[in-house]
Amino acid sequence: MKPFNLSSRLFTTVFWQGILQNTDQWRSELAALSDALKRLDDLRTAADYNTGSISNSAAWCLYSLARYFQPLHVIEIGTFIGKSTWALAQGMDDHQGGPGDIFTCDLSNNIKVPWTGKTKLVQFPKTSSTEMLKRLSGIHDLCFLDGRVGDEDLKRLDSLIDQNTIIVLDDFEGMEKGVANLKNLKTMPKLANHFLIYPASENYLQELGFTSHSTVAVMLPLSRVALSNQG
């Protein structure tokens, strides 16, 4: 007998349907997040290195991931103007657990994210991921990578995650950094059994009312997957 084979492509569809299933119910949270993202865009004038930020649909994917999985301890690489930081922090604030914390660094920028919610935000401005990871301790539930990670980062990350840590990658398209990061991360034994979830499809995001696309992919530990008869 052959086992049932669930590919990344097939799983991706149901994964985002599950994660984003409350989008209609959470319209006021989405509106509040969109307003916050607009305000964060103004911080670009303070950037030493003015670069790309995440789209509104990507921010909603991050918000929904944080609200769904309810991580308490989060690492982010690549703060820039803080759209992703804010989306994760708001998703963490809006679930029942917590309050949690987010440690976030940016090598080139020194922009203070004007976050005032319950989730504790610890920023490492003008600090490389290697340097920040050196200063952290404990096991983290979720890591969002929006900067490029190297061998030294992987060594340090190894002591800050376990087999149940969810890894989220931005810029997962073509030959961009999300794909390069996946290739590097896959060399870590702790992540060997993580399952790749591609970014939510443009069609599905359009159905939900978004005009932007998302490049947010997820490396999901199989320990975070449960089968249920209803839902």
Ligand X SMILES: C[S@@+](CC[C@H](N)C(=O)[O-])C[C@H]1O[C@@H](n2cnc3c(N)ncnc32)[C@H](O)[C@@H]1O
Taking CB under 6 A as the binding criterion, the range among 27-35, 76-84, 203-211, 221-229 that sits at the site for ligand X is 76-84
In the complex with ligand X, the residue whose CB is nearer, 21 or 156, is 156
In the complex with ligand X, the residue whose CB is nearer, 2 or 181, is 181
**Under rule CB under 6 A, residue 146 binds ligand X:** yes
185-194 own/partner pairs: CB under 8 Å, 24+ apart: 185/149, 185/154, 185/219, 187/154, 188/154, 188/157, 188/158, 190/158, 190/161, 190/162, 190/163, 190/165, 191/161, 191/167, 191/219, 193/163, 193/221, 193/222, 194/167, 194/219, 194/220, 194/221, 194/222
Q: Which H or E element spans position 104?
A: strand 101-106
Taking CB under 6 A as the binding criterion, the range among 18-26, 64-72, 101-109, 193-201 that sits at the site for ligand X is 101-109
**Under rule CB under 6 A, residue 107 binds ligand X:** yes
Token pair of 116, please? 């005032």
**Under rule CB under 6 A, residue 53 binds ligand X:** yes
Among 17, 34, 51, 159, binds ligand X (CB under 6 A): 51
Q: Is 126 left (phi over 0), alpha (psi -120 to 50) or beta?
A: left
In the complex with ligand X, the residue whose CB is nearer, 13 or 213, is 213
**Under rule CB under 6 A, residue 75 binds ligand X:** no
In the complex with ligand X, the residue whose CB is nearer, 25 or 88, is 88
Enumerate binding residues for ligand X (CB under 6 A).
49, 51-54, 77-78, 80-84, 105-109, 128-129, 146-148
